[in-house]
Structure 1
Amino acid sequence: MPVPEQPPGVEIEEVGGHIIAGVPTAICAFVGSCAQGPAEDPVRVTSYAEFESTFGGLSADSGLGYAVQDFFANGGGSAIILRLVAKDGVLTETDYVGAGFEDADKGIYALAKVDLFTLLCLPPPVPDGDLPQTVWKAALAYCARRRAFLIVDAPGGATPSTVTAWPAEHGLTGGAARNGAVYFPRIRRLDPLRNGAAGDFAACGAVAGVMARTDADRGVWTAPANAGLAGVSGLTVVLTDGQNGTLNASGINCLRTFPGRGPVVWGARTLAGTDALHDEFKYVSVRRLALYIEESVYRGTQWAVFEPNGEPLWTQLGRSVGAFMQNLFQQGAIQGQTAKDAYFVRCDRTTMTQDDIDQGLVTVMVGFAPVKPAEFVIIRIQLSAAAPTG
């Protein structure tokens, strides 16, 4: 199902001639090897048929085609395909995040050529294999810089007892951990290249499709959980309720099967979502809503660069961002009987220093209540303005 250009019910707000439009929330970038197609030159596709025509479809030598197929089968509508070419047979860490690659827009950093992506999948170089493990940390940091969200596949050989320590062992910690989530175990699905026999595959594409479907049907503020996985026949590990509870508390999102139901996405925590951390961005839906607000506000207030940095500008920004947040409140994206319990917007001398003002920097502070009224998550969006007059 196509993903709308804006989440459901989130309309364009115009205040004093200035517009804030909600950005798309489920543009998923896929990075890896393909049978054909342009290399290190991202291409947008809106169907699996379009991917197949440009990049050659499924390949026994790559997990990417399967992930893209799963994405569209589960509700995805817009994908960015970044084909990497291995310098020596199979993609290695150097092909993804080699020295100097970010400055040169190479490897995963070729996504700099894309104006916007909001989800990132890194399918394994071979369908039943694993991504070079050191790539995950660099990809997570890159997503944090791009206001995107990384969907992480646990290793194919992981077990319920080993997977809990895996994120920390590979540096998926700290502030950037809010911008990713890990899913376990692998999915089983039919493989046309094996005469329809079932094979084991990374779940990232299917999970990204579920996120896109949930965004389109219920909004980015809704947890992508308790949702069926289309085209998935089973899972490589069947988890018990007790195992699920332990993994969930450790920030590992489980894929489950239940009697009378097919496989489902069950967990919805970020990599910062362990019970021990008490992080305000514990949940995928809260973090993705925050990223949506940040990106929408940042893009919708670029007119400020031409305005003197003073109180008239701050007032205009407060009104414009406030109207955007009011729209979210009216759609039920944030919690509260009244607007003041659901959100606040502040842009004044309390959100920036005199030095900031002199340098043409403006900070808009937004608080929103994603779970309980008046329990605000705070985000700050820094903008550029003209030097103050007078």
Structure 2
Amino acid sequence: MLQILQSLKSGETILAEVPAPKVRKGSLLIATGTTLVSSGTERMLVDFGKSGWIQKARSQPDKVKAVIDKIKVDGLKPTLQAVQSKLDQPLPMGYCNVGTVLDTGSNISKGAFKQGDRVVSNGHHAEFVCIPKNLCCRIPEKVSNEEAAFTVVGAIGLQGIRLLKPTLGESIVVTGLGLIGLLCIQMLRANGCRVLGIDFDSSKCDLARSFGAEVVDLSKGEDPVSKANTWSGGRGVDGVLITASTKSSDPVHQAALMSRKRGRILLVGVVGLELSRADFYEKELSFQVSCSYGPGRYDPRYEEEGVDYPLPYVRWTEQRNFEAFLHLLAEKKIDLTPLITHRFKL
């Protein structure tokens, strides 16, 4: 089968012929119909692969520390061989997959999934994928394959919104109007919130405005803190959702300045985290980092073994966030048309 792979050593992106997966226990074998290219995340991986050794080290200081620790234990030569081996392994690209179930493995409860179901998963850009059942979700009839391909990205934003806990009528700022930020604006608007979007890109600001948000266009020299203060009637905003990607700590600092006393700041993106205690102490601000699609992420028992969390105690798992986003699409609460920029055949 064909699959898109990324070399972390050279930065080359290739369309490779690789063996097709076989169905596994608790998983679905899926024939891919559509995948979504998330330009932010996937461009970051491509850029990382193209960077030199020094740039790679600077961008991942935690990994450098792990390598140094391994040298102390295993010695220089075995450690260098291990690092080289890691970089030689191509990285499968993509995490937003829509396809049709070809086969189900054992341990799939009757009625959960069946052959022929259209499903969304976090599968790669590949002709066939085998994905554990808790990372798959059936697609409603009213949702097209192209629309469903946004589900995983949408769930990332949705989980951030759940942790922010916005209520009807609250004023919420979204900093960073990439794909996730623009989806969050629409979900917040559907939740009855007033929304202010912030970005350097005028075209993204225009999209945010078309979705019902007020905007701060940083490319025009607009002051986000001053604008947020005026927009909130001088009270400060209730919450800030940071969906930006930057090494700067300015988004967090600005979020603190524009927040009301006891406001909430939620990080979905990747930004610098050099925090000022005074920013948070004087206002008793809350700051939290959201983890991907929701509860269950990176838990092997949930993701690989298929052990679900009981709904009365964990209402929104990553799979149930997939379902919720798909329902928003089925009810036409989210407009994806202006977010699709290119279409490619594998």
The normalised TM-score by structure 2 is: 0.28
